């Protein structure tokens, strides 16, 4: 990780009427998660940020419902199902790495809160814990991590759990 202090600009919008998410709380949690990931040399070196010159990182969260993620999946990803999370990792997935005035925009994480509530009930955990788990997952995608293989999936989920334990 770079030794200088990095500014984090994380924005969120909640268009789901079924849960008045404490957006400030989850933005602060996302900042802690991202700082944790970037503090781990192996994670930072494997991320899309490695060897980039920047002083600011920004990205967005959109909280919605699964009807919206279904629409987005159909329109942008040619997938006909609702998702709990969709990540548009514009910096990690782009051919060219655009950095404007020292700022990297990593992209957007879209989370279906009705799916979060449903999954939390299945896992017997709080909806806040499940949301934090998806936020940590989305951030890893923004950093360029994927899980196409079982080994990659286990790495990503293990790293998420590690980050969430570390920021408690």
Q: How far is CA 98 from the centre of its chain?
A: 19
Report the pLDDT value the prediction gives residue 159, as an integer from 0 to 100: 96
In 3D space, the residue among 121, 139, 114 whose CA is nearest the CA of residue 30 turns out to be 139
- The domain segmentation of the chain, as residue ranges, is 7-166
75 has pLDDT over 80: yes
Over residues 19-63, the pLDDT tens digits come to 999 999 999 999 999 999 999 999 999 999 999 999 999 999 999
Task: Tell me, yes or no, if the pTM score tops 0.85.
Answer: yes
**Which one is the CATH code of 7-166: 3.10.520.10, 3.40.390.30, 1.10.1660.10, 3.30.565.10?**
3.40.390.30
């Amino acid at each position: 990780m770079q030794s200088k202090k990095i500014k984090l600009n994380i924005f969120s919008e909640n268009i789901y009427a079924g849960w008045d998410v404490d957006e400030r709380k989850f933005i602060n949690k996302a900042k802690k998660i991202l700082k944790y990931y970037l503090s781990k040399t192996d994670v930072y070196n494997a991320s899309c940020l490695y060897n980039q010159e920047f002083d600011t990182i920004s990205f967005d969260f959109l909280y919605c419902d699964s009807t919206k993620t279904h629409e987005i999946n159909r329109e942008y990803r040619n997938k006909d199902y609702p998702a709990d999370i969709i990540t548009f990792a514009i910096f990690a997935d782009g051919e060219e790495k655009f950095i404007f005035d020292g700022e990297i925009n990593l992209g957007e994480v879209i989370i279906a809160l009705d799916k979060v509530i449903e999954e939390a009930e299945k896992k017997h955990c709080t909806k806040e814990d499940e949301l934090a788990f998806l936020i940590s997952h989305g951030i890893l995608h923004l950093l360029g991590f994927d899980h196409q293989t079982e080994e990659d999936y286990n790495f990503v989920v293990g790293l998420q759990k590690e980050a969430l334990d570390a920021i408690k």
